């Protein structure tokens, strides 16, 4: 078999060992010029708007990225769920958290079109206002935000649900749009911020998707491309 064809059809796996080579922590540069962090009062106002749009008897949250491997909230139930009309995409530019202004990162959000398999969490029944506020404070990127909360419909084996999800605002300052996958891989293999590397974020996400039996061909392909990027950089460093 031709060596070039072998290289094209052999998919690399991103491993903890590979990620360790690019893992680092950078100083937090703070909000971008022209943006601020949300005040508690602003977060409360956003929660009030959401609860006016829909007041749930059971509060469900749809997870597709870091909320799968690091939910940071208690939940009473978890179901496999699919959001139709949305897809998982590295379409948000980050200049802090897992990137810097000099070397921005990319973060997952739900973007329009396609479908996305993930998890639906049912949160405890008490104090939905506080629970939503904590989610917004964690997930919304800046003020004005590009990663915004909205109620979406998801399907589960037990029936449809209305769930809170975080989606990309295409008119937002941090919206990167649909980027070529090799460009996304180059960014994820190099960027890091005060929360660690973008490669670690990808690795944790793809690992948990596999553990949950969630198949995402784009994420699998991206995993392989990032692994190749890191391997190439290690080879270059070894043989300058």
Q: Which residues are catalytic?
A: 139
* Cβ neighbours for 49, distance < 8 A, ≥ 6 positions apart: none
For 123-158, strand residue ranges (E) read: 147-156
Q: What is d(CA 117, CA 113) in angstroms, rounded to the nearest whole number?
A: 13
Q: What is d(CA 141, CA 144) in angstroms, rounded to the nearest whole number?
A: 8
Residue 108's nearest CA partner among 128, 87, 124, 80 is 87
Please list the residues that pair with 156 across neighbouring strands: 159
* Cβ neighbours for 118, distance < 8 A, ≥ 6 positions apart: 62, 63, 64, 68, 80, 81, 82, 83, 88, 154, 214
CA dist 142 → 127, 148, 154 (Å): 25, 10, 26
Q: What is d(CA 43, CA 21) in angstroms, rounded to the nearest whole number?
A: 37
Q: What is d(CA 111, CA 178) in angstroms, rounded to the nearest whole number?
A: 9
């Amino acid at each position: 078999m031709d060596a070039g064809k072998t290289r094209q059809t052999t998919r690399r796996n991103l491993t903890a060992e590979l990620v360790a080579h690019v893992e680092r922590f950078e100083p937090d540069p703070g909000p971008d010029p022209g943006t601020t962090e949300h005040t508690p009062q602003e977060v409360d106002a956003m929660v009030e708007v959401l609860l006016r749009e829909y007041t749930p008897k059971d509060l469900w949250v749809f997870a597709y990225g870091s909320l799968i491997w690091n939910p940071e909230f208690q939940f009473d139930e978890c179901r496999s769920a699919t959001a139709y009309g949305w897809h998982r995409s590295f379409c948000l530019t980050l200049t802090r958290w897992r990137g810097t202004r000099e070397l921005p990162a990319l973060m997952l959000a739900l973007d329009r079109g396609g479908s996305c398999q993930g998890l639906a969490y049912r949160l405890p029944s008490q104090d939905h206002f506080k629970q939503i506020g904590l989610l917004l404070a964690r997930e919304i990127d800046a003020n004005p935000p590009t990663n915004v909360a909205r109620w979406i419909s998801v399907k589960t084996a037990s029936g449809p649900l209305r769930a809170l999800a975080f989606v990309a605002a295409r008119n937002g300052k941090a919206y990167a749009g649909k980027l070529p996958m090799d460009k996304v891989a180059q960014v994820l293999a190099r960027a890091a911020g005060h929360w660690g590397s973008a490669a670690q974020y990808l690795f944790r996400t793809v690992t948990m998707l596999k553990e949950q039996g969630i198949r995402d061909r784009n994420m699998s392909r991206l995993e392989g491309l990032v692994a190749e990027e890191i391997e190439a950089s290690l080879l270059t460093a070894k043989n300058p």
